[in-house]
Structure 1
Amino acid sequence: MRSFNMSQKGRKKSPIFSIFGARNHDGSNPDRHESLRLCESVRAFFKIALPYWKTRASIPGWIQFIGILVFTAATIVLAKMFNDWYKEFWDNVQSYNMDGFYGGLCLFLFLATLHVCNVVYKSYVISALSIRWRKWLTSYYTHRYLNESTYYRLQLTEQKTDNPDQRIAEDLNSFVTLTIGIIVRLITSSAMLVTFAIILWGLSERVENVSVAGYTFSLPDGYLFYLALIYAVCGTLITFIIGKPLALLHFRQQRFEADYRYSLIRLRENSEAVALYKGESEEKERLTGYFGDVVKNYIYLINRTKALEFFTFGCDQLAVIFPILVASPLYFAKMITIGSLMQINSAFGQVYNSLSVIMSLFPELATWKAVIDRLALFEKSMDRALQLPKPQVVYEGNDLELDKLSITKPDGTPLIDDLSLVLRAGDRLLIKGPSGVGKSTLLRAVAGIWPYSKGKVRLPEGKKVLFLSQKPYMPMGTLAQTICYPSPVSDDDGYLEKLLSGVGLEYLVPNLNTEDQWSMVLSLGEQQRIAFLRAVINRPDVIFMDEVTSAMDEPNEFKLYEMLKNELKESIIISVGHRSTLEKQHNRILDFSDDSKRKNQINC
């Protein structure tokens, strides 16, 4: 979880000016977690892309991909037909052939219609494949993110992945869209290159002793192809030099945008606390700082993009007239017709566009690499989270048992040593002690989500377990869904009305079927009362409760615990709390007030 408690003045500035590998004052590389080497990005691409295409679910995707190849082939054929049309049409114009002129217009309309249909249907199939692939990837990554509490364990590792929600919601979409678009462009360009290189070679046969403006020169076979090749290669190399920083800039732009968006979400989620603290000026300063990172990096991004576009667009414009300048001496020497000149111009343009595809795609390639790098870091973070030790939590027998359970902080600092206890049906255990001794961490270890623990935890086999936290989770949905979570909504509205009235929340009955952000609407005390109702509805056999009455008055606390004892007589209840009044509600107490007790086996 990202922390926003640091003031803007103390917040470490992101090294957005270190575009070319600058280092921090301590000598460390500020970019070490921001962008991968090209070879690493290539390996990461295949790791992300291949899983879908190896599954049975990809069969429709393969059919759609084959369809894209068919439409691409049609694009090549139509481009070849247009190239032939140029020669014939302009030769008819030069010879004043009206019938040929009108026939050429009719042929153009026919070819243009085919071209429009081909482009539209190709775009449609690409979009259909994109959403199919994205749907599978989203499901795959969502499963990995939620499996074995990875979303929680990510917070316990070195956080090289910021905003994992953005990785799933946005980066997967960008990855699919860019991957399909770039691959289709590369396939199309390769096919165009082969087709029109042959045509261009045939149009540039060896020429001897051409005289233009008093100069005589000769041209070798394929001279137009060689010129297109040299022109494209030089342009691509210069484009790479100018555009190299774009991948890192795109990577940072996404991160800064996500940081700014997340800070706004945090402000909305904690709006009441900020208002009570009168922290508007501090929040404004913080938001201004985060948005400042967005603006500064974006200025670098658009300036670098501007320089790249000046060069690439300039090359593209020069490429329009370049083949005509080269072939015009042959035309003025009456060695070729104007139709041949137009055909040369068209073929040269196709060959140049195919050879310079990297140059034209460079901005997209930079964005694509940034997306791959972010997803690769997300992959590594999830793998690292899964490699954390897994507590031994087994489901067997009828009792809850802790067998020599030891718990530490992530840095290895001991919290609890060799704790052993057994709880049977109907037992109610209160865990108390000063803050920081590991009471809540003990519950996390028993739940199986705290990796820094040793020993064995046995939970009753086939029994339902429910954990209630100090700030209950209020899911999006109706009030009835919130109360019954994680079970389906009860069909008996009268039952829910009775429960609400029993805890003093009868005024919420008219809102049972109303959707709202209940975490914002209800006070913490009201949310905690709903958490108790949730326990009654779900009827768990084991209930873990962490400071669940901290926002209640003592009469309400007494009423709710009595309700649990009456409704769930056979359930094991484990509570963490500080109030002395809680001792009356439990028949067993585990007191961590004396530090020596944590260093020996404890039998309650």
Structure 2
Amino acid sequence: MTPHPEPDTWTLNSPTVTEQIRVLVAAVGAPPARRKLIFLAVGLVLVIGATAVGQFLLNAWNKPFFDAIERKDIDGFLFQLIVFGIIATALLVLNVAQTWLDQMTKVEMRAWLTHDLLLQWMAPKRAFLLAGAGQIGVNPDQRIHDDARRLTELSTALAIGFLQSALLLTTFIGVLWVLSRGVALEISGRSIVIPGIMVWAALIYAVSGSWLTWRVGRPLIDISAERYSGEAELRSALVRVSEATDGIALYGGEADERRRIERELHRVIVAMRRLVGRIARLTWITAGYGWFAIIAPIVIAAPGYFGGQLTFGELMMTVAAFNQVQQALRWFVDNASGIADWRAALLRVTSFRHALLAIDRLEQPYPRIDIAKDSASLVFDNVAIRVADREIALDGVVEIRPGERVLIIGKPGIGKSMFFRAIAGLWPWGRGRLAVPPRAGTMFLPQRSYVAPGSLREVLTYPVTASSFLQEDLINALERTNLKHLIPSLDRIARWDKELMADEVQRLSFAQLLIHKPQWIISDEAICHLSEDSREIMFSLFGQELSEASVVSITSNDVQHNFYPRILHLTAQPVASFKASSGGGRPTSPATGATEGEAPAVVRATF
């Protein structure tokens, strides 16, 4: 066999920021979402634009108001209070409208981003493949739930803030330039006029602050990403312990589990302490920048006022315009921590989506079994499943016809589960040609049955909606599998995988067979794990209600030898190892470096 390339040669690199933004836009850019988001975006632009006009009018209001105070003009003062009330009321209405549009944009973005991530993750076989794809496949729930929520909220807040700052800058920079005519610098008794001095002062002030903020705050991106990864691991460890309390108690492993959880907690605490230190450094700049901004415009414009070039009202108008300009320019300074958080969330979410899409692309160049779907029979044409340093095969050409009962026997540890997964299309690495019957008429019974969440009715009919089946069929299935005590609980929602014993869970999977009535039943030692009484019940089902179904059982012993007229044997043949597993761990996949029983690591990403 042709040697496979090293996994490191096809590692998926972290996408650039531009690629990440493109991925995010694609995720929320489906036609229904696009229409809603465009409507909300247009509304936000109009409201923010109107707010900028209101801010302009409010700035212009400063001159007559403070001039009236300087002149001690009570009538002018009262009139300007009325003008202020009108402007403030309009700005209040606009503020409420902006808040509503802001929150609705966050809701819609999260809905469509989460929908898109679920759509990509739950595409056939992707979740299985991603689970063995290295760090990128760890804790997908964190990326889909928390990271997607943070990303949409921060994206909306930062985009609105940036747009608002840009409009304010456009509105007030011209005003500030005109007002700067009355500002002169007094140096050694000489008056020096610099055109647009207040504008240049605001620019220098903002650029210097932004540069310092970037230098100090840039490490926050990586530290935040590390923290969120640690939080996901900590939550996963806590969930794992809560779901295995009986086993932990039986082993007396509480102390060991506590140490494991504390290790994950320590990782989070270390990251949080690094964040505290970095944020404290950043606060020196952002807070100091903000405090000095209070007095800076007055200090710069004061010579013009004391020299008589500016009235008190014009001074306050200049100060207000300066504050608007520098506030717009300091958007980066004020949002440095939020931008770092956004970058971290953007990296985790878009890298996750990028990896999901890349899985389909990156698999194709590597040796795979030729799979033909919708065949009338199950045919193995010189099929060999590649697992670690060996091939598992059925010799020659083997055809299993409809209605046959076939037992496939393999030694313990030979890789029977990989052979089972290959038939299901979950393990495509190997050689030969495999023809499989239509998936719609086939049911696979793994060693550990999956029990779907929801009511017992939904569990029995999974993955088809419960309304597609008659009540009598469900009751009959439970009675035939000796689960009639569960009939009153058909509509009760519970964690059935926790409430039922292992033997009951396995019998529940056979009740599903009676309900779905598949034409092909392929089992991975599912029958072997049943009690003797339950096993007899199952074989009676195959002899009566499911007598026309084809039954293929993969096992390590001769279970009910007389039930299977045909017996096949799996053979294992050693081949050149693709890559030795490190540290004496589990053997790795020939094409991917994944451990045996895991999905191939087609995406070795660590973001």
1:375 to 325, 349, 352: 349
Query: Quick check: 147-156 or 514-523, which moved more?
Result: 147-156
**Aligned equivalents of 2:172, 2:389: Cα separation in 1:** 67
**Aligned equivalents of 1:139, 1:403: Cα separation in 2:** 40
Instruction: Verify the 8 A CA contact 1:554 1:581 in the aligned structure 2.
Output: no
Instruction: Verify the 8 A CA contact 1:186 1:357 in the aligned structure 2.
Output: yes
1:420 to 382, 385, 397: 397
Higher relative contact order (CA 8 A, sep 6+): 2
- Residue 149 to residue 315, structure 1, CA distance change in 2 (3 Å): same
**2:221 paired residue number:** 247
**1:589 paired residue number:** 567
For the residue of structure 1 that corresponds to 2:181, the secondary structure is: coil
**1:467 paired residue number:** 444
**1:540 paired residue number:** 518
Q: How does 1:415-494 map to 2 (within 5 A)?
A: 415-416=392-393, 420-461=397-438, 464-489=441-466, 492-494=470-472
**1:408 paired residue number:** 386
Query: Quick check: 308-317 or 381-390, which moved more?
Result: 381-390
**2:112 paired residue number:** 136
Query: Is the counterpart of residue 388 in structure 1 residue 363 in structure 2?
Result: yes
**1:326 paired residue number:** 300
Query: Is the counterpart of residue 359 in structure 1 residue 333 in structure 2?
Result: yes
- Residue 596 to residue 127, structure 1, CA distance change in 2 (3 Å): closer
**2:578 paired residue number:** none
TM-score after normalising by structure 2: 0.87
Letter in 1 for 2:445: L
Q: Cα deviation per residue 1:298-353 (whole Å; 9 max; x = unaligned)?
A: 11112211221232011111101111111222222333221112111111111111
**Aligned equivalents of 2:436, 2:14: Cα separation in 1:** 44
**Aligned equivalents of 1:209, 1:393: Cα separation in 2:** 82
Instruction: Verify the 8 A CA contact 1:71 1:122 in the aligned structure 2.
Output: yes
Query: Is the counterpart of residue 85 in structure 1 residue 58 in structure 2?
Result: no
**Aligned equivalents of 2:549, 2:198: Cα separation in 1:** 86
**1:553 paired residue number:** 531
For the residue of structure 2 that corresponds to 1:204, the secondary structure is: helix
Q: Percent identity?
A: 27
**Aligned equivalents of 2:30, 2:517: Cα separation in 1:** 43
Instruction: Verify the 8 A CA contact 1:161 1:374 in the aligned structure 2.
Output: no
Aligned-pair RMSD on alpha carbons? 2.4
**Aligned equivalents of 2:290, 2:399: Cα separation in 1:** 78
**Aligned equivalents of 2:407, 2:214: Cα separation in 1:** 66
Instruction: Verify the 8 A CA contact 2:392 2:573 in the aligned structure 1.
Output: no
**Aligned equivalents of 1:54, 1:464: Cα separation in 2:** 33
**Aligned equivalents of 1:270, 1:421: Cα separation in 2:** 42
For the residue of structure 1 that corresponds to 2:491, the secondary structure is: coil
1:515 to 487, 490, 493: 493
- Residue 418 to residue 242, structure 1, CA distance change in 2 (3 Å): farther
Letter in 1 for 2:347: D
**Aligned equivalents of 2:559, 2:35: Cα separation in 1:** 63
1:187 to 163, 166, 170: 163
For the residue of structure 1 that corresponds to 2:463, the secondary structure is: coil
**Aligned equivalents of 2:439, 2:413: Cα separation in 1:** 33
**Aligned equivalents of 1:241, 1:162: Cα separation in 2:** 31
2:41 to 55, 65, 87: 65
**1:5 paired residue number:** none
**2:581 paired residue number:** none
5+ unaligned residues in a row in structure 2: which ranges? 1-10, 576-607
- Residue 315 to residue 397, structure 1, CA distance change in 2 (3 Å): closer
Query: Quick check: 479-488 or 68-77, which moved more?
Result: 479-488
**Aligned equivalents of 2:185, 2:285: Cα separation in 1:** 35
Query: Is the counterpart of residue 567 in structure 1 residue 512 in structure 2?
Result: no
Q: Cα deviation per residue 1:147-168 (whole Å; 9 max; x = unaligned)?
A: 1311001134344343222222
Q: Cα deviation per residue 1:558-600 (whole Å; 9 max; x = unaligned)?
A: 22122122111111111122343332332222223x65799xx
- Residue 384 to residue 408, structure 1, CA distance change in 2 (3 Å): farther
Q: How does 1:257-296 map to 2 (within 5 A)?
A: 257-296=231-270
- Offset of residue 408 of structure 1: 0.7
Instruction: Verify the 8 A CA contact 2:391 2:572 in the aligned structure 1.
Output: no
Query: Quick check: 350-359 or 271-280, which moved more?
Result: 271-280
Instruction: Verify the 8 A CA contact 1:430 1:582 in the aligned structure 2.
Output: no
For the residue of structure 1 that corresponds to 2:195, the secondary structure is: coil
Q: How many residues were matched structurally?
A: 560
Q: How does 1:46-125 map to 2 (within 5 A)?
A: 46-50=22-26, 52-53=28-29, 55=31, 57-125=33-101
Letter in 1 for 2:412: S
Query: Is the counterpart of residue 229 in structure 1 residue 203 in structure 2?
Result: yes
For the residue of structure 2 that corresponds to 1:474, the secondary structure is: coil
Query: Is the counterpart of residue 342 in structure 1 residue 342 in structure 2?
Result: no
Instruction: Verify the 8 A CA contact 2:182 2:304 in the aligned structure 1.
Output: no
**Aligned equivalents of 2:439, 2:147: Cα separation in 1:** 40
**Aligned equivalents of 1:150, 1:121: Cα separation in 2:** 42
2:506 to 524, 528, 543: 528
Q: Cα deviation per residue 1:368-404 (whole Å; 9 max; x = unaligned)?
A: 1111211232134223421324653333442221222
Query: Is the counterpart of residue 162 in structure 1 residue 138 in structure 2?
Result: yes
- Residue 54 to residue 444, structure 1, CA distance change in 2 (3 Å): closer
Instruction: Verify the 8 A CA contact 1:463 1:542 in the aligned structure 2.
Output: no
Query: Is the counterpart of residue 499 in structure 1 residue 477 in structure 2?
Result: yes
Query: Quick check: 517-526 or 415-424, which moved more?
Result: 415-424
**Aligned equivalents of 1:419, 1:173: Cα separation in 2:** 53
